[in-house]
């Protein structure tokens, strides 16, 4: 995965018609700086500026050939798909996920004593976390008879009726003819 900062640097570098023209010429093979400048109608200093930007973005490599500089495309980078360039991890999303996970752990630690639920949370957000934890005891898609399901919940908390009802209203379980299935 490409780092976001690298991707931004590449996109910034590519948002210039002259630099795209340079890359287009280099697609057919390496070229001397002087030749590139002449082909694209750029002054030596302007070409040098563009090449520096392209090199910094990692799109182009250069080597010295006596007094001249020869430029070439960095094939590995220029052959990347757009999705590979933009698909890097979003650090903000990571941070949000970490925060949510920490909150989930805090709620579970507060309401569970081992496998036993101390009390059913009143706050919906906390209750949902607790119900999802209880739901982990059921295999998704598997059909449970009411007595079996109630017995399993009762092992966790005596008020199995409330928990079972809440799991249905939250869409965690479905009920059909007195039989229950975990949906998520």
* Interface with other proteins (CB under 8 A): 15-18, 42-43, 45-46, 48-50, 52-53
In the complex, the smallest distance separating the C-beta of residue 53 from other proteins, rounded to whole angstroms, is 7
In the complex, the smallest distance separating the C-beta of residue 52 from other proteins, rounded to whole angstroms, is 4
Integer CA distances (angstroms), 131 to 70, 102, 122, 180, in order: 65, 17, 12, 15
Helix (H, G, I), strand (E, B) or coil at 57: coil
Q: Which residues contact 104 (CB under 8 A, 6 or more apart)?
A: 129
In the complex, the smallest distance separating the C-beta of residue 25 from other proteins, rounded to whole angstroms, is 15
Question: Residue 143 forms beta bridges with which residues?
Answer: 181
**What are 171's two structure tokens?**
């869409």
**What are 53's two structure tokens?**
């930007």
Spacing of C-alpha 71 from chain mean position: 35
In the complex, the smallest distance separating the C-beta of residue 49 from other proteins, rounded to whole angstroms, is 4
């Amino acid at each position: 995965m490409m780092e976001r900062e690298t991707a931004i640097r590449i996109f910034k570098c590519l948002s210039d018609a002259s630099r795209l023209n340079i890359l287009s010429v280099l697609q057919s093979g390496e070229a001397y700086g002087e030749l590139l400048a002449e082909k694209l109608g750029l002054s030596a200093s302007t070409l040098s500026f563009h090449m520096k930007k392209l090199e910094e973005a990692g799109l182009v490599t250069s080597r010295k050939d006596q007094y001249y500089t020869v430029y070439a495309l960095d094939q590995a980078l220029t052959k990347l798909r757009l999705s590979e360039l933009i698909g890097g991890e979003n650090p903000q999303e990571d941070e949000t996920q970490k925060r949510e996970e920490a909150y989930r752990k805090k709620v579970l630690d507060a309401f569970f004593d081992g496998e036993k639920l101390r009390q059913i949370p009143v706050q919906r957000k906390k209750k949902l976390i607790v119900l999802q934890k209880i739901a982990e005891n059921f295999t998704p898609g598997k059909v449970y008879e009411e007595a079996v399901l109630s017995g399993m919940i009762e092992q966790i908390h005596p008020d199995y009726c409330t928990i079972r009802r809440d799991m249905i209203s939250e869409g965690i379980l479905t009920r059909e003819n007195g039989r229950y299935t975990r949906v998520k």
